[in-house]
Chains A and B, each alone.
Chain A
Amino acid sequence: MVHLFEENRGEIIRNDSEAISGIRDRSLDHFRETGLPDTKLEEWKNTNLAESFAKGYEYHFNPVPVRDLQRTFHCVIPHLDTAVIGQMNGWYVSQDVPLIRLGNGIIMGSLAQAFRQYPGIIEKYYNKYSSEDKNGLTFLNTAFAQDGVFIYVPDNVKSSKPIQLINVIRSDENLFIQPRNLIVLGKNSGLTLVHCDDSFNHQPSFSNIVTEVFLDSHARMDHYKLQNINNNSTLVSSTYFHLEKETVLDSLFLTLNGGLLRNNTRVLLNGDNSHININGLYLMDRKQHVDNYIYIDHNARGCSSKELFKGILDENASGVFNGHVMVRRDAQKTDAYQSNRNILLTDTAKVNSKPFLEIYADDVKCSHGSTTGQLDPEAMFYLRQRAIGEDNARMLLMFAFADEVVEKISIPPLRNRIEDMVKRRLMGESLICDQCVLNCGSKEQPVEFRIDKEMI
C-alpha cells in the first residue's frame, strides 16, 4: 500500500491544500509503523482480516463514470422525506454541482470539493480526533482518502429533514475503497443523518471508511448507520465523534448482512453534560462476522453514555462486542452503562463479548453486563402451547429481542422500514437483491439528486 501511495501521490493530492498533503504524508509514516491490523493486536484479536486482504483488489484514483444512477439510488425509505446524498464506489455522486450551500447556510456535498472550496473549515476539523487512533486502517484512509461526503451545519441551524447518505459499491471488479466523510455541527445546531452502506452485486470489495463527526456545544445529532453488503465483502467503518459540552448524540448501528464487518466507533466527550446513546443490532448467519468496537472517552463532568448492543447469530456466524468506557480522573458524575446481549441459534455460532470499564474518577455510576444464550425454552413452550408453530414462535421471540433496539428509532417511517427489514432478515430472506439491496421489492422511485434548497 505504501508503494501504491508513492506511485500515485500526484493523483491523490490533486485537490489538497498544503496542509492536507502534509497530513497524508504523516499518516503514511504512521502507517509504515503500524501496518495493517492483525490478530496479535488486542483490539483485533477476534477479527481476522487476513482472508479479506488476500482476495486482491483494484484501486482507482479517479471516479468511474456512474451508469443507471436512478436504479442504483432508488433505495429510499417510503414516507421519509430525506435529502439523499449518493456515494458510488467511494466517490460523491452529483448531477450538477459537487458542493452546495443552502439558504440556511448548510453546506453539503463532495469532500474533495470542500478541500478546495472551504480550506478554513477543513483545516479546523479534518483529521483531528481520528488522528489520535493508532489504527493502521485509519492512517491508511487518511493517507489515501480523495473523496467522500462533507456536511457542515452552521451555528443555530437545525436541519428540518434528515440527510440520507447512501454509500453503494457497484463494480465488476474487486474494489478497495477508502471514502472519507466529515460532518460538522456548529453550536446549537441539529442534524439527523441516515448513513447506509450497501453493495450491488456479489463482487468482493473492501471498504475502509472513515467518518469524522464534530458536535460543537449544544448540538444534537441523530445518527443511523445501516449496513447491508454482500457476503463476499469486507467493511471496516471507523467513526470518530468529538462532542463538546451539552451535546446529545443518539446513534444506532444496524448490521443486516455482510461478509466481514467491523465498526470502530470512538467517542470523545470533551465538554460537560453531554449525553450519548449508542445502540446496535446485528443479525448474522452463514459465515458472516461482525465486530463492534466502541471506545467512549469520558473526559468531562456530568456526561452519560448508554450502550445497548444486541445480536442474533445463526449457522456459523460470529460476533464480537468490545466496549471500552474510559472515565478520566476529572470526569466526575459520569453515568455509563454498557450492555451486550446475544442469542446464538446454533452450536456453531459464536460470540466474544467484552464490556470493559476503566475508571479513574470516584464519583461515578458505571455498570455493564453481557449475556449470551439461546432462545428462552420456557417462552418457546409457552408460545407453542398457545398453538403457535415452532417457526412462528421463534420469529416472535427473535423479533421481540431485536425490537428493543429498533423501537429506539425516533423517526416513525424509518423505524417502520427497519422493523420490516429486520422481520424479513429474520425470516431468512436475503436482502441482497439483484439490484439495490434496500429495494425490498418496492417500486422503483425516482431520486432527485438536485438538492432542493427549500427542503432543508
Chain B
Amino acid sequence: MLLSIKNLKAGINGKEILKGINLEVNRGEVHAIMGPNGTGKSTLASVISGRDMFEVLDGEVRYKDKNLLKLSVEERAREGIFLGFQYPVEIPGVSMTNFMRTAVNEVRKYHGLDPLTGGDFLRLMEEKKKLVEIESNLTNRSVNEGFSGGEKKKNEIFQMAMLEPTLAILDETDSGLDIDALRIVAQGVNKLRTKDNAFVLITHYQRLLDYIVPDFVHVLYEGRIVKSGTKELALELEERGYDWIKKENE
C-alpha cells in the first residue's frame, strides 16, 4: 500500500469540508477523483500535500508506512509526493532553471545523494523537456511568469518529470486546456507511468480520461467518496451528469 487514507476529516476556518474520506492507492495505479465543484476535491489534494491553511480534524493518512500528517510540506515532497497545481503560482525573479536545480538537489540531498553538477543537471533538463514536449524557452524564464494557462500546466508536467514522484496528485490539470495541450499533458503522464508510481487525477470532466485511462474512478460529493468504480463510471458520469449522484445522496 502506497497511500492509505482512513476516515479523514479536514476543514478550514472551523468549517468541515472533508467529512470522512477513505481511499487506498497502490503503486502502479491511476485513480481519478471526480465530482461537482465545491465538494472537497482540491481540499483533499491540499491536505495530502500538507498545505497548512487546512486543519485535519480526524482520521489518518499513511504513506509509505509513515504517518504522512506528521511530515512538513517539503518532507512530503522529498518523499515523492507531487502536487500538480490547479493554479500554478507565478514567481517573478526566480528562474525556472534555478528553481528546478534547487528542487532536484534538495530531493537528492534528502536521499543522501550528491548534488547534480551543472552539466548533469542541464542534460537532465533537456531530456525531460523532450519527454514532455515543453518549449525550450519556457525554462529560460521566471517560474510561470507570463506563461499562458496551457504553458503553466505543461510546466507542471515538466516539473513532475524532473522530480519523478512516487505519488503525483494532479489537481484539475486539464482545466482550461485546449485539445493539443491536453494531449501533451496526458502523454506526459502516460510516459511517466511505471509500476512503482501512482497517480491521482482530480478532474471535473471525463475528457482527460480519454487520454489517461484510470484503474479506478471515485466520485467525491459533499466531503465523502460516495461511489467508486472503474473507468466505466466516468463514462456514466459524462452521460448522466452529477445530478443523479446528488439525488442519490440527498
Contact = CB atoms under 8 A, between A and B. Distances in A.
Bound together:
yes
Interface of A: 376, 378-379, 381-390, 392-393, 396-397, 399-401, 403-404
Contacts of B89: 376, 378-379, 381-382
B94 A388 contact: no
Given A382-B88, A397-B94, A399-B93, A387 B77 contact: yes
Given A378-B89, A379-B91, A404-B92, A396 B73 contact: no
Contacts of A397: 91, 94
Contacts of B82: 385
Contact of A388 (B85, B88, B93, B102): B102
A400 B94 contact: yes
Interface of B: 49-51, 72-74, 77-78, 82-83, 85, 88-89, 91-94, 98-99, 102-103, 106-107, 110, 142-143, 159, 163
B51 A381 contact: yes
Nearest to A404: B93
B93 A385 contact: no
B195 to A, nearest CB: 23
A396 B102 contact: yes
B163 A396 contact: no
B78 A387 contact: yes
B94 A396 contact: yes
A279 to B, nearest CB: 15
25 contacts: A378-B89, A379-B91, A381-B73, A381-B89, A382-B91, A383-B91, A383-B103, A385-B50, A385-B83, A386-B99, A387-B78, A387-B107, A387-B110, A388-B103, A389-B106, A390-B74, A392-B106, A396-B94, A396-B98, A396-B99, A397-B94, A399-B93, A400-B93, A400-B94, A403-B93
Nearest to B51: A381
A386 B103 contact: yes
Contact of A383 (B51, B83, B99, B107): B99
Interface of chain A, main secondary structure: helix
A387 B93 contact: no
A384 B77 contact: yes
Nearest to A378: B89
A310 to B, nearest CB: 11
A382 B200 CA distance: 18
B91 A388 contact: no
Given A381-B51, A381-B73, A396-B102, A386 B163 contact: yes
A249 to B, nearest CB: 25
B99 A385 contact: no
B91 A387 contact: no
A378 B83 CA distance: 13
A385 B99 CA distance: 12
B40 to A, nearest CB: 19
Given A382-B143, A400-B93, A400-B142, 19 more contacts: A376-B91, A379-B91, A382-B88, A382-B91, A383-B91, A383-B94, A384-B77, A385-B50, A385-B77, A385-B85, A387-B107, A387-B110, A388-B102, A388-B103, A390-B74, A392-B106, A396-B91, A396-B94, A403-B93
Closest 4 CB pairs of A and B: A400-B93, A387-B77, A384-B73, A382-B89
Given A392-B106, A396-B99, A386 B93 contact: no
A378 B50 CA distance: 13
Contacts of A389: 74, 106
Contacts of B83: 385
Which of B72, B73, B83, B103 gathers most chain A CB within 10 Å? B73
B77 A392 contact: no
B198 to A, nearest CB: 17
A382 B85 contact: yes
A368 B72 CA distance: 40
A400 B92 contact: yes
B144 to A, nearest CB: 9
B103 A387 contact: yes
Nearest to B84: A385
Nearest to A386: B103
Contacts of B163: 386-387
A449 B244 CA distance: 87
Contacts of B74: 384-385, 387-390, 393
Contacts of B88: 382
Nearest to B95: A400
Contacts of A384: 72-74, 77
B115 to A, nearest CB: 13
Nearest to B81: A385
B102 to A, nearest CB: 5
Which of B51, B72, B85, B93 gathers most chain A CB within 10 Å? B93
